[in-house]
Structure 1
Amino acid sequence: MSWTALFHPPDTLAALALALAIEAAAGYPDALYRAVGHPVTWIGRAITALEAGLNRGGPARRRAGGVLALLVLIVGTGAVAAALTRLAAGAGAAGGVLLVALLCASLPAQRSLHDHVARVARDLRAAGLPGGRRAVAMIVGRDPETLDEAGICRAAIESLAENFSDGIVAPAFWIGLGGLPGGALYKAINTADSMIGHRTPRHEAFGWAAARLDDLVNLPASRLSAGLIVAAAALHPGASAREALRAVLRDAGRHRSPNAGWPEAAMAGALGLRLAGPRIYGGTRVADAWMGDGRAEAGPADVERALALYRTACIWLFALVVAGAGGLLLVRA
């Protein structure tokens, strides 16, 4: 089997479907993480090394250094992913797809996101505000001590919605387009944004390129994620697909992020909640528009309702990939 065959849409989508199923069932095993780490940790070490060497001087030099760092990261990540794809092709047609699927399964985070958000509701019920604050601090950057129960639950639901887009749908989208290299390149860009794409004195200039490119590569997935949440709401009693769509059309463009507002607005409308709004990061109040026009008083039961929608949205994503792979196989036959 030629390694370039693994970039043909039917084989790429078949590998993606397998990867999503494997990751949903098993996640990323702790033993494997302890033994070799995770692609995000490897990428993170590369970013740290590049920043140490290039993030210095005045704003113009820092911005140029950030562009260079991003280019080096992209070229290096793409080369490694392409080499792994070439090696996988040596296992034959079915074996190559399976090996690529196993490698791609490390890129989405369906199971870990679910577990982290579910822990917020569980710990809030079991240990009150201290437990909820500890759990939500693992998934959001805002100051947990400023959050009451409703704030904790809204933060968990917002993180679930946003990370459904950039942690699951986006890597799946880019794997579908470009195989393992496409997914790995997306993960490199997204990790760079999370590490250096901040408006702080240290990263304002150096992280400019990473932040702008991350906005661009997340644009299609954020819109698709909103659609998947709307579709999930149509299958859940007590959720409203109509209100989800109405919230997206009315509110998504008002969010301070060009992408996060789409899945957050869909989730807010589906559940009859208000999400986003003003928040506190590092002691600084950040103004933002509300997504949805429902109640702001969210509780652990709302987190669990959001998780149910999330699970159904993940199933919709898997179904779309399987349908796409099957349709392309029929066309190729």
Structure 2
Amino acid sequence: MDLFSRILSLAIAWAFEMVFGYPRPLYARIGHPVTWMGALISALDRRLNFEEDTSSTRRSAGIVATGILIVVAGTGGYIIERLCLSITYGFIPLGIIASSLIASKSLAEHVEEVARELETQGLAGGRRAVSRIVGRNPETLDEPGVCRAAIESLAENFSDGVVAPVFWYALFGLPGIAIYKIVNTADSMIGHRTPRYEAFGWAAARLDDWLNLIPARLTALVLSAAAFISHRRGTAAIRTVRRDAGKHRSPNAGWPEAAMAGALDLRLAGPRIYGETVVNDAYMGNGRADASVADIRKALNLFHTACVILSALIGLLAFYLVYKQYH
């Protein structure tokens, strides 16, 4: 696919996802591409990951599983892309298909639900809502903890679910975004440092780290720009990223979280409990720890401003390519 068709289809994908998201009737009828990817990952886990095998054998099996995922996603993306582009104005259906692998609308809705549940149902409702978007044990969270978890999830998933898919689609079209999404899904399912997955999920986790290196840093830049535009703490966001992003146990998650923390004058990350395991992570930012529902809404406003910036960048690039094509 040439650059012209790729960027036009990306603009369509972005606009369609921002307005419509993934239609719920379609999800009820056929599921979602990520659920299909999850089913494949689960099948490979059952067939290749055996507890009686040695660590090296399980790591090798994980490498094979990750290779299979890449081949399936890349081949499927390539075939669908070719079929779409074989028809007139095929970049339109291609963009609509690609929109299913971007998650800006659903991300905002899930985080907004946390704020709404806290307001209407109290701490119990907030814990239920936040448990749908974070892996940590919600029963250990007080109300500020629920708010911080929602804001951290918004920052990190802005990178994983929005900026990174857009980035890889812009570079490699539907095969690129499909490969990224299946690796990212595998990391969330099998990339944990647990007895079952530390060896088997090693390849997926490391590849996900590599695929997110550039997008995570772009996300921090976009969030900082959004902070300047929305008259928040843009300089503090940049300063916090420079000081704290590298302290995070993840090579990538600290970048958007630090930018968000600096922009909102919060202290995010830090020690957290996943199941019964305490993860002693560094703090991002040196502001308040007592986050509130108001801070969730400020974070959402910052997120929406960042999405407007992305819209402008994609739109300008598409306009330039259209102008260049016809002049």
Using the size of structure 1 for normalisation, the TM-score is 0.95
Partner residue, 1:271: 264
2:195 and 2:321 map into 1 onto residues whose CA distance is: 49
Partner residue, 1:3: none
SS state at 2:229 partner: coil
Once the two structures are TM-superposed, the CA of residue 327 in structure 1 deviates from its matched residue by 2.8
5+ long unaligned stretches in structure 2: none
Q: Work out which of the residue numbers 131, 135, 141 in structure 2 matches 1:141.
A: 135
Partner residue, 2:249: 256
CA contact (8 A) 1:11 1:325 kept: no
Partner residue, 1:161: 155
1:331 and 1:212 map into 2 onto residues whose CA distance is: 39
Q: Deviations over 1:47-102 (max 9, x none)?
A: 1111111112111111111100111111111111111111101222xx21101101
Equivalent pairs, count: 324
SS state at 1:46 partner: helix
Matches within 5 A, 1:1-333: 7-56=1-50, 57-92=53-88, 95-237=89-231, 239-332=232-325, 333=327
2:145 and 2:85 map into 1 onto residues whose CA distance is: 49
Once the two structures are TM-superposed, the CA of residue 40 in structure 1 deviates from its matched residue by 0.5
1:106 and 1:273 map into 2 onto residues whose CA distance is: 32
CA contact (8 A) 1:151 1:298 kept: yes
Which residue identity does 1:140 align to in structure 2? Answer: V
Q: Deviations over 1:301-325 (max 9, x none)?
A: 0000000000010111121112222
SS state at 1:234 partner: helix
SS state at 1:259 partner: coil
CA contact (8 A) 1:133 1:152 kept: yes
2:83 and 2:153 map into 1 onto residues whose CA distance is: 36
CA contact (8 A) 1:119 1:135 kept: yes
1:48 and 1:305 map into 2 onto residues whose CA distance is: 37
1:330 and 1:262 map into 2 onto residues whose CA distance is: 35
Which residue identity does 1:142 align to in structure 2? Answer: R
Once the two structures are TM-superposed, the CA of residue 330 in structure 1 deviates from its matched residue by 4.0
1:162 and 1:102 map into 2 onto residues whose CA distance is: 24
Q: Deviations over 1:153-200 (max 9, x none)?
A: 000000000000000000000000011111111001101111110101
2:7 and 2:311 map into 1 onto residues whose CA distance is: 10
Q: Deviations over 1:17-61 (max 9, x none)?
A: 111110111110111011111111111111111111111211111
5+ long unaligned stretches in structure 1: 1-6
Q: Deviations over 1:234-268 (max 9, x none)?
A: 1213x110000000010000011100000000000
Which residue identity does 2:75 align to in structure 1? Answer: A
1:88 and 1:69 map into 2 onto residues whose CA distance is: 29
CA contact (8 A) 1:246 1:269 kept: yes
Using the size of structure 2 for normalisation, the TM-score is 0.97
